[in-house]
Structure 1
Amino acid sequence: MKKMKKTVAFYEVRDENDQPMAGEDWQRHLQDLLRRQHIEGVASVRHAIEGLRHYGQAYAHESELSLVIARERDEPPSSLDEASGEIIDESTQVNRPWVEIGVASFVAGTNIFGYVLGGMSAPRAGAVAQWINVDGRMFGEPVSVRPYTSEALVNFLQDGSSEARMVSVQLDAGQIYGEQVEGAGLFSATQQIGRELDLGPEVDVEVILRIRGRSDGATETTRRTLADLGRGLLGRRVRGAQAEVVDFDPDSLMEREMVDLVKHRMATKEDVSVMDAEGEGRQVRIPSAINAISRAASRLQISG
């Protein structure tokens, strides 16, 4: 059995306005989904998202259910049997649509889930919210998904009263020319600069906003604006991002703190078993991805 390092990244399901929700019983929601799959068939869990057919399916492993999002594609390696609704986690067979998968496993008592991409073309974590919203039956109200970050990081930039003297972001070519991120502050501004310059894939674009001289030489509004820009980068898929947070409270233990906005994103690498599709983009095995999420949650101490 071949193995490879795969990223296990953690995300949080929130309401449609990106606000936290009380912890849901996702095992119950997935049980309902599994029951529907058996009674109504695969067509009931198939929905068009951005012009492509996506399948959301409950997957049982070691007495727990996870959510597998499968997106139809033109090439191997995984396939889906539309008669039974089974995702074929092996070399594909004829008369079955090729799909790329993403595997989501929820942390009990929370709205946090670990996510593993089955392959390079797999649906990203945002597809979880897209599928739930289009489906409208697994969860009764619209939701959004955002990367889950550590409480320590959120505490630096949590309530709009934080101040910073520097914020920076660095994007590589894939992030510059990827999907446009509207309303994302410094991210979208940096993305626009990179697209306008069109320097090629070997050049990254870095934008740094820094107060000249002493931190108290700038207005409080300026420092808060810089902190807001840093908060807007939390959890974004960027090559690098930092914020230098300052605190002028005489009783504070922190006068100045450099926060790595990428490092604190809750993600880690785990070994995952993969299929060897004779040189094709190798797809992870679903049980192995679920086990990797469980190990990662334990290592990062993510719990309800």
Structure 2
Amino acid sequence: MKTVAFFEVCDENDLPMLATDWQDCLGELLVRQQDNGITDLRHQILGVRNYAQVYVHNESRHLVLAREREEPPSSLDESSGDILDEETQANRPWVEISVLSFIPGTNIFGLVLGAQGSPRAGALADWVNKDGELFDDLISVRPYTDDQLVGMLQDGSSEARMVSVRLDPHQIHQGNIDPNGGLYSATQQLGRDLDLGSEIDVEVILRVRGRSSSATDSTRGRIADIGRNLIGRPIRSGQVELVDFEPESVTDRELVDLVKYRMATKETVSVMDDDGHQVRIPSAINAISRAADRLQIKAD
């Protein structure tokens, strides 16, 4: 089983933009791929070579992102017990892949990671911005969320007593940091300033000590604002603890998990068909289609 997660392409400020004809965009890439070869769709990103490849399945175009592995895999000779380190050939690099498929009439795409080292959703924005030929302006990618699920936090009158955010190394180092961008940007900046390695996450927690009423309503409102700023951000984990002092309120606290409410589901992705042929990419595309139907993700 693989997780199918959904993301949305936005402008460089993480704001929604008019729906793009992604079949047309992928058609442009396919022409370049066919005329100039796959190396025309290769770019160096954060010191690692990244590739984009258009994949046609069920008469529609989809996208495969591939990242070259920094170290090739090793193999174990079971007869001798020797561990063999295989060298990557210059024209056949070892890569990890992710499969993307866009929902027609939207900027929303489903993503299936091939492995833990595969390109994340933000790699799409990194590649498109580096390439510079699909759009005149920079783009960004944010998780696609169901607005109703986070409606209680999106209400501008809400107050909170706690907000937390945790970023993994990839999220720490991606994109440009806005020094006035709130807790998300501050967490990225902290991770960069400390030059944290690939095994370290950064977590920041803001919490009102003691009773919620020990903080002013303006303070609680500001904490809620910080939580709202995290909606849709690429974070490893994040929570906001809302408070409600209305007399008719059933409960005075509500914990909103900012990752739990992302639109994602588990789907079966076959690696081999009954005849032993590789079907991983088309199976991932089919899984994204099934997940979109199940979650009712479609153009308005």
| TM-score interval for Structure 1 and Structure 2 normalised by the shorter chain | 0.7 to 0.9
Aligned to 2:217: 220
Shift of 1:274: 2.9
What is the aligned counterpart of 1:10 among 3, 6, 9?
6
Aligned to 2:84: none
Aligned to 2:149: 153
Could you tell me how far apart the structure 2 residues matched to 1:299 and 1:97 are?
A: 37
State the aligned residue count. Answer: 270
Q: What is the root-mean-square deviation of aligned Cα atoms in Å?
A: 3.7
Shift of 1:212: 4.3
Could you tell me how far apart the structure 2 residues matched to 1:204 and 1:120 are?
A: 19
Shift of 1:114: 0.8
Could you tell me how far apart the structure 1 residues matched to 2:6 and 2:157 are?
A: 25
Worse-superposed segment, 18-27 or 92-101 = 92-101
TM-score, normalised to structure 2's length? Answer: 0.75
For 2:17, give the aligned amino acid: M
Match runs of 1:31-50 below 5 Å: 31-50=27-46
> Contact (CA 8 Å) 1:6, 1:116: kept in 2 or not?
yes
2:294 matched to 1:296? no
What is the aligned counterpart of 1:261 among 243, 246, 258?
258
For the residue of structure 1 that corresponds to 2:61, the secondary structure is strand
What is the aligned counterpart of 1:19 among 15, 18, 36?
15
Could you tell me how far apart the structure 2 residues matched to 1:53 and 1:125 are?
A: 16
Aligned to 2:129: 133
Shift of 1:14: 0.4
Aligned to 2:183: 185
For 1:269, give the aligned amino acid: K
1:251-272 per-residue CA deviation (whole Å, 9 max, x = no partner) reads: 9999864422222111122111
What is the aligned counterpart of 2:92 among 89, 96, 107?
96
Aligned to 1:286: 281
CA distance 1:176–1:102, change in 2 (3 Å)? closer
For 2:258, give the aligned amino acid: L
Structure 1's unaligned 5+ residue stretches are 78-91, 276-282
CA distance 1:247–1:272, change in 2 (3 Å)? farther
Shift of 1:147: 0.9
Aligned to 1:229: 226
For 1:167, give the aligned amino acid: M
> Contact (CA 8 Å) 1:71, 1:101: kept in 2 or not?
yes
Could you tell me how far apart the structure 2 residues matched to 1:106 and 1:112 are?
A: 6
TM-score, normalised to structure 1's length? Answer: 0.74
Could you tell me how far apart the structure 2 residues matched to 1:30 and 1:189 are?
A: 34
For the residue of structure 2 that corresponds to 1:286, the secondary structure is helix
Structure 2's unaligned 5+ residue stretches are 75-87, 273-277
> Contact (CA 8 Å) 2:43, 2:130: kept in 1 or not?
yes
Could you tell me how far apart the structure 2 residues matched to 1:184 and 1:288 are?
A: 39
> Contact (CA 8 Å) 2:160, 2:220: kept in 1 or not?
yes
